[in-house]
């Protein structure tokens, strides 16, 4: 039986706890034996209290320790672990492998998804990006990852950084554009609900087409009259600036503006 411990209690940690427990219920050889949380009550709804600790010195011996904390806390947490030469990984998309303390063997177990507390996700379709210092540790990470996901990838630190930046564009930035769209609707007393089928169709298209092939709209058509009318219509200077920048980027198709 491969024993796993999760260190952390935030969004990623909680979703991993659920995923591993679901995996255990399916009869896999992976067992989540303990969770470290500074506030036990934050994860007490997910597992028994006797599996939760708030003291690093009481961490059990395991095959894999997954640090699922904020990026700026990873180095500090890894330095507080009271043991040596065990496999310790973090779940960050942007933090290098070598940010982990030298006392233990290092790795990365990065689930590429946006997580929200209390919102269920299907972990089987979430890509998990793995990195380790040696082949033996990678085999263990691969085994563990495949018990909760059908999409497991070997990704080095530089590739992971590229993925994380790309994810900001397709997730965080796109969501911010949704917010701008909602603000424009609210300003003119139009229900944002009307745009939701368009949002859904746009997301579905890139599942079967490349983003370049899926691109439509006035910038793609070089419809100057419509573009100028839109820019004149936007009273919010920030909205107008973003509109102009994105229009120019589409028209240049990724070339330098």
pLDDT, residue 255, reads: 55
pLDDT, residue 115, reads: 86
List, in sequence order, every beta strand (DSSP E) within the chain.
2-7, 30-36, 52-53, 64-67, 87-90, 105-111, 128-132, 152-154
How high is the mean pLDDT of the chain? 94
pLDDT at 257 exceeding the cut of 70: no
Q: What are the Cα distances from residue 19, in Å, to 40, 89, 119, 137? A: 19, 17, 13, 21
Give the rounded distance of the alpha carbon of 221 from its chain centre.
Answer: 34
pLDDT at 126 exceeding the cut of 70: yes
Q: Per-residue pLDDT tens for 54-64?
A: 999 999 999 99
Q: Which of 39, 62, 64 is nearest to 49 (CA)?
A: 39
- DSSP annotation of 33: E
Which residue in this structure is represented by tokens 């994810």?
167
Q: Per-residue pLDDT tens for 146-187?
A: 999 999 999 999 999 999 999 999 999 999 999 999 999 999
Domain ranges in the chain with CATH number 3.40.50.720: 2-155
pLDDT at 188 exceeding the cut of 50: yes
Thinking of the domain 160-252, which architecture would CATH place it in?
Answer: Orthogonal Bundle (1.10)
Thinking of the domain 2-155, which architecture would CATH place it in?
Answer: 3-Layer(aba) Sandwich (3.40)
pLDDT band of residue 253 (cuts 50, 70, 90) is confident
- Per-residue pLDDT, averaged over 230-240, amounts to 96
Q: Per-residue pLDDT tens for 127-142?
A: 999 999 999 999 999 9
Q: Residue 230 and residue 86: Cα distance in Å, rounded?
A: 58
- Per-residue pLDDT, averaged over 15-28, amounts to 85
pLDDT, residue 119, reads: 82
Domain ranges in the chain with CATH number 1.10.1040.20: 160-252
Instruction: Point out the least confidently predicted range of 1-10, 11-20, 24-33, 220-229.
Output: 24-33
């Amino acid at each position: 039986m491969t024993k796993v411990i999760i260190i952390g209690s935030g969004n990623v940690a909680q979703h991993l706890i659920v995923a591993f427990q679901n995996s255990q219920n399916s009869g896999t050889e992976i067992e989540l034996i303990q969770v470290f949380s500074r506030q036990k009550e934050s994860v007490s709804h997910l597992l028994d209290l006797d599996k939760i600790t708030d003291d690093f010195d009481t961490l059990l011996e395991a095959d894999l320790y997954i640090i699922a904390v904020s990026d700026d806390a990873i180095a500090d947490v890894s330095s507080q672990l009271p043991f040596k030469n065990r496999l310790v990984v973090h779940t960050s998309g942007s933090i290098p492998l070598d940010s982990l303390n030298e006392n233990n063997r290092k790795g990365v177990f990065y689930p590429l998804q946006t997580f929200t507390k209390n919102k269920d996700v299907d972990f089987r379709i979430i890509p998990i990006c793995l990195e380790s210092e040696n082949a033996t540790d990678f085999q263990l990470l691969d085994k563990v990852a495949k018990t909760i996901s059908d999409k497991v990838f070997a990704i080095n630190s530089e590739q992971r950084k590229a993925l994380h930046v790309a994810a900001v564009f397709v997730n965080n930035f796109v969501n911010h554009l949704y917010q701008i769209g909602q603000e424009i609707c609210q300003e003119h007393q139009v229900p944002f609900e009307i745009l939701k089928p368009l949002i859904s169709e746009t997301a579905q298209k890139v599942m079967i087409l490349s983003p370049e092939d899926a691109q439509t709209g006035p910038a793609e058509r070089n419809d100057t009259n419509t573009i100028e009318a839109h820019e004149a219509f936007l009273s919010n200077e920030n909205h107008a600036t973003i509109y102009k920048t994105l229009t120019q980027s589409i028209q240049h198709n990724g070339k330098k503006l």
